[in-house]
Amino acid sequence: MKTIKVVAAIIVNNKRILATQRGYGDFKGGWEFPGGKIEEAESSEVALRREIKEELDIDIEIIDFLTTVEYTYPNFHLSMQCYFCGIKAGEVKLLEHEASKWLAIEELDSVLWLPADIEVVEKIKESYLNHN
């Protein structure tokens, strides 16, 4: 089975976290943390900055690594590195997603997350509880 290596940004602004709704593909309509595939010879951090610029037209600051999620979908295995990020410059523009929402920690369960992202939500909640 093919493994796809991706990065995801947990973008935090005013104590809210950005959730984006997929606009294409098998999981169209599902909610996820923005990001994408790591290109060959690209570091995770470089890939994350590039993907967020391409998807949301913003420059991000990577604050902290949260977790790596390993999730097996029916047709591939996903290895997703997730980082807490802040917005360095720009306004969020949806270039590839259908919708977005800024969610407070207690609102994270209000959207239907893609399967791999559910684990990220749980890690965010754990991290939040450990820091507050």
- Total domain count, the chain: 1
Domain that includes residue 115, residue range: 3-131
Integer Cα distance of 72 and 53 in angstroms: 27
Integer Cα distance of 34 and 80 in angstroms: 11
**100-131 pLDDT, tens per residue?**
999 999 999 999 999 999 999 999 999 887 76
CATH number at residue 25: 3.90.79.10
Q: Which amino acid is at 83?
A: Y
Instruction: Please say whether the beta carbons of 29 and 72 come within 8 A.
Output: no
Instruction: Please say whether the beta carbons of 105 and 36 come within 8 A.
Output: no
Residue 128: predicted pLDDT: 83
**47-85 pLDDT, tens per residue?**
999 999 999 999 999 999 999 999 999 999 999 999 999
Q: How confident is the model at residue 92 (pLDDT cuts 50, 70, 90)?
A: very high
Integer Cα distance of 132 and 121 in angstroms: 17
